[in-house]
């Protein structure tokens, strides 16, 4: 009568979404300040003032016809050039607007890229822990998800493990750094070794293997950490970007795909991306927000709040005896659970009103994800509950 698979995907919501709904119910029962909800990766810092001011000015002063009309399917030409100029300035690339395809955010960037690349039988490698929707998107275009575990000691990627997973069916590899859910940033050494493996395997199989850099958290890094720009390390690279986190505009759905001008036959690949966007029904990315972000290149929301949250939480949790991955970026803390079953641990945490996401669906049993994109006050108020939880486990 209708697609069973789509029904299943629409009915079985993610663990994250279920926990978030539970949190909302629980808050209604006992008061919102009594529930420590660390479930959702929704920015807690408002969009910067420049966004509000620019939006106001555009709406008030621009001709509504040009503001709200269709852009080309690739996106507004001036916006794409502004992004190219910014990326070139940051990373020393020599891209033009023609390398950029504007999208409705990171999820659209990924589904369009996968649809453009997919041919029958293709496999796509992801590194655990990985954003669970990768499975939905990869299987949605018909592909096979191949999971490669990152090293459990530091969540970097072991080149030999990676190499062993590549087959003649590997079409692309998704790299997500800073990582959701671990907060880990892959080091330059790790990236270099990963790219060396890819180069070797491309030669061995006589085919292209693409690198998809899923980078919505690029700007959310703390301290001196550098996030290598993958196009500078590997030619067959697509960068999937979103302004959801950097400008705190998650609901407005605005991002892009950047196709490296060194990728094999990159103009044909770009054309395939245009075709994929068309067949998925994307017409064009939201025009007002395209034009807005064209004027806000290099701006971010106040990232320092996330750093403060991270520092307080990481220091407290480790002092209570929890083992956490030191996070350099994003707004997630990844914590090893003191019992093997993360779901059971999550249930015990719930008794302390702590909502932590068991990471089994991220491909990493034995961990929980703690989203610290919440108020600093919530973090401080939650510490006694974390301490009590640690004591319950005799840490």
Is residue 137 involved in binding a copy of itself (CB under 8 A)? yes
Residue 184: CB minimum distance to a copy of itself, A:
24
C-alpha 342/C-alpha 145 separation (Å) is 23
User: Three-state SS for 168?
Assistant: coil
Q: What angle do CA 100, 106, 110 make, to 5 degrees?
A: 80
Q: Residue from 3, 223, 224, 377 that binds a copy of itself (CB under 8 A)?
A: 3
Is residue 184 involved in binding a copy of itself (CB under 8 A)? no
Q: Which two tokens stand for residue 325?
A: 């991955």
**What kind and span of H or E run contains 324?**
strand 324-325
Is residue 82 involved in binding a copy of itself (CB under 8 A)? no
Pick 67 or 196: Cβ nearer a copy of itself:
67
Pick 1 or 160: Cβ nearer a copy of itself:
1
Is residue 145 involved in binding a copy of itself (CB under 8 A)? no
Is residue 170 involved in binding a copy of itself (CB under 8 A)? no
Q: Residue from 18, 188, 268, 302 that binds a copy of itself (CB under 8 A)?
A: 268
Residue 366: CB minimum distance to a copy of itself, A:
27
5-24: contacts with a copy of itself (CB under 8 A): 5-11
Total residues in contact with a copy of itself, by rule CB under 8 A = 80
Is residue 136 involved in binding a copy of itself (CB under 8 A)? yes
Q: Within 10 A of 57 (CB to CB), how many other CB atoms are there?
A: 12
Is residue 130 involved in binding a copy of itself (CB under 8 A)? no
- Answer for the pair 294, 255: CB distance below 8 angstroms, yes or no: no
Is residue 259 involved in binding a copy of itself (CB under 8 A)? no
Pick 63 or 224: Cβ nearer a copy of itself:
63
Binding mask 25-64 for a copy of itself (x = CB under 8 A): -----------------xxx-xx---xx--xx--xx--xx
119 alpha carbon, distance to own chain's centre: 24
Binding mask 330-369 for a copy of itself (x = CB under 8 A): ----------------------------------------
Give the interface segment with a copy of itself, choosing from 154-162, 175-183, 286-294, 334-342 (CB under 8 A). Answer: 286-294
User: Three-state SS for 67?
Assistant: helix
Tell me the helix, strand and coil percentages in the chain, rounded to 5: 45, 15, 40
Residue 86: CB minimum distance to a copy of itself, A:
21
Q: What radius of gyration do the chain's Cα atoms show?
A: 21
Contacts of residue 162, Cβ cutoff 8 Å, sequence gap at least 6: 125, 127, 148, 194, 197
Q: Residue from 140, 178, 294, 363 that binds a copy of itself (CB under 8 A)?
A: 140
Is residue 117 involved in binding a copy of itself (CB under 8 A)? yes
Instruction: Report the candidate in 132, 220, 158, 212 with the shortest Cα–Cα distance to residue 184.
Output: 220
Residue 124: CB minimum distance to a copy of itself, A:
13
**What kind and span of H or E run contains 60?**
helix 49-61
Is residue 65 involved in binding a copy of itself (CB under 8 A)? yes
Q: Residue from 283, 344, 388, 395 that binds a copy of itself (CB under 8 A)?
A: 283
Please report the DSSP string for 95-154 in residue order: --GGGEEEESSHHHHHHHHHHHH--TT-EEEEEES--THHHHHHHHTT-EEEEEEPPTTT
C-alpha 341/C-alpha 343 separation (Å) is 5
Binding mask 194-223 for a copy of itself (x = CB under 8 A): -------------xx---------------
Residue 243: CB minimum distance to a copy of itself, A:
10
Instruction: Report the candidate in 63, 44, 60 with the shortest Cα–Cα distance to residue 52.
Output: 60
Residue 24: CB minimum distance to a copy of itself, A:
11
Pick 58 or 385: Cβ nearer a copy of itself:
58
Instruction: Report the candidate in 328, 332, 356, 322 with the shortest Cα–Cα distance to residue 342.
Output: 356
């Amino acid at each position: 009568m209708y697609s069973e698979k789509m029904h299943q995907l629409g009915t079985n919501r993610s663990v994250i979404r279920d926990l978030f709904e539970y949190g909302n119910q629980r808050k209604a029962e006992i008061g919102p300040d009594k529930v420590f909800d660390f479930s959702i990766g929704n920015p807690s810092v408002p969009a910067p003032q420049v966004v509000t001011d620019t939006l106001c000015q555009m709406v008030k002063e621009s001709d509504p016809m040009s503001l709200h009309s269709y852009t080309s399917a690739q996106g507004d030409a001036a916006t794409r050039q502004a992004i190219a100029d910014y990326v070139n300035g940051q990373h020393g690339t020599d891209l033009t607007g023609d390398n950029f395809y504007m999208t409705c955010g990171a999820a659209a960037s990924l589904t369009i890229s996968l649809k453009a690349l997919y041919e029958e039988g293709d496999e796509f490698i992801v590194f655990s822990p990985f954003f669970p929707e990768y499975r939905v998107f990869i299987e949605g275009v018909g592909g096979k998800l191949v999971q490669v575990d990152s090293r459990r000691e530091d969540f970097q990627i072991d080149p030999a493990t990676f190499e062993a997973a590549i087959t003649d069916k590997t079409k692309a590899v998704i790299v997500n750094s800073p990582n959701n859910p671990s907060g880990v940033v892959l080091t330059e050494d790790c990236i270099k070794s990963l790219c060396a493996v890819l180069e070797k395997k491309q030669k061995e199989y006589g085919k292209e293997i693409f690198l998809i850099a899923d980078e919505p958290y690029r700007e959310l890094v703390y301290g001196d950490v550098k996030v290598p720009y993958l196009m500078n390390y590997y030619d067959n690279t697509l960068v999937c970007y979103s302004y959801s986190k950097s400008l705190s505009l998650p609901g407005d759905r605005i991002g892009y795909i950047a196709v490296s001008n060194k990728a094999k036959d990159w103009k044909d690949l770009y054309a395939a991306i245009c075709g994929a966007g068309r067949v998925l029904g994307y017409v064009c990315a939201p025009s007002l927000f395209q034009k807005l972000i064209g004027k806000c290149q290099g701006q971010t929301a106040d990232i320092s709040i996330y750093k403060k949250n991270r520092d307080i939480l990481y220091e407290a949790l480790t002092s209570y005896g929890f083992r956490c991955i030191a996070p350099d970026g994003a707004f997630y803390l990844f914590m090893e659970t003191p019992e093997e079953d993360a779901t059971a641990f999550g249930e015990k945490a719930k008794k302390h009103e702590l909502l932590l996401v068991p990471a089994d669906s991220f491909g990493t049993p034995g961990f929980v994800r703690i989203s610290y994109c919440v108020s600093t006050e919530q973090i401080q108020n939650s510490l006694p509950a974390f301490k009590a939880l640690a004591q319950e486990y005799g840490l």
